[in-house]
Structure 1
Amino acid sequence: MTENLAPGQVWAPSACTLPTAERPLRVAEFDALFAETVRAVRRPGRERLRLELDFTPAGAARAAELAARENGCCSFFTFVLTVAGGALTLEVTVPPEHADVLDALAARAGAAPPGETSPGRAGSPA
C-alpha cells in the first residue's frame, strides 16, 4: 500500500507490515481487481465496504488470494467472500480506528460515501 493513494487519505497505517517497496505493487493489484472484476460498490456503513464482483471462478480466486495476502500484512482488515444465488461479493470491514483506511480503499474502488451506492468501475483502465 502507499501512504498517498488519494489526497488526504492514508491506506497504509503503521500497523501494516508490508515492506514499503512492495506497497505500490499491492496498490496496483487492488486497482486491477477493482477495474476488471468489481461491478458495484456499496458502503453500508463507515466501517464496511461491499464489492459486487463478476461471478466467475477466476474472479473468486483472485479476490480470495489478494484478500488473504492483504490480511497477512494488515490484520485489522476482515474480508468475507460470499458466493450465493449467482452472485459473488467481497465484504471488507475494519475496526473504527481504521475507518480512514477503508475510506481510501473505497475511493480506489470508486465508492460512494457511507450509506450510498455507486456503480462499479467496469471497463475502466487500471
Structure 2
Amino acid sequence: MSDHHIPTHDSWVADTCTLPTAERPLRLAEFDQFFTAAVRAVDRMSAGHLRLRLDGAAQVEVTARDLTARESSCCSFFTFDLSRTDPDSLTLDVQVPAGHVDVLDALAARATAVTGER
C-alpha cells in the first residue's frame, strides 16, 4: 500500500490540543504503533463514535489505557471507553462532540490506513 492514501501525520490533531507542539510527532507515532500492533477492525458507529476492535493481549490493554489517559489529558473532548468483550478481544470506543467530528474522521482514516483494513 502506498503512503499517498494515508492522512498526513498531524491531520487529526485538533487546534484545541494542549500537547506541546514538539511532543505531537511522538504521540502520533505512538498511535500509529498502537494501531498497527493492536487494532483488528475499525467500525464507525456514528458521526461522533468510532469503535476499534483490539487484540485481547494483556499488554494491549495496558498500552490502550496509558495512551488514552494521556490523550484525554491534552485533548479533553475525547471520550475513551475500553472494555473486554471476551478473553481474546478488547473494544475501544472513541467518542467526540459534534464540534470535533472532523478530528474523529481523521483518526478513523489514520487507523484504517495504518492497519491496512484487516
TM more than 0.5: yes
TM-score by length of 1: 0.80
Q: Please identify which structure carries the higher helix content.
A: 2
1:29 equivalent to 2:23? Answer no
CA distance in 2, matches of 1:121, 1:10: 17
Aligned residue number for residue 3 of structure 2? none
Matches within 5 A, 1:1-126: 6=7, 10-86=11-87, 87-110=89-112, 121=115
Per the TM alignment, residue 85 of structure 1 is displaced from its structure 2 partner at its CA by 2.4
Identity of aligned residues (%): 53
Relative to the length of structure 2, the TM-score reads 0.85
Please say if residues 10 and 100 of structure 1, whose CA atoms lie closer than 8 Å, have aligned partners that are also in contact: no
Partner-residue secondary structure (3-state), 2:115: coil
Deviation of 1:10 after TM superposition, in Å, equals 3.7
> Structure 1: which 5+ residue stretches go unaligned?
112-119
CA drift of 1:6 comes to 2.1
Count of residue pairs brought into register by the alignment: 110
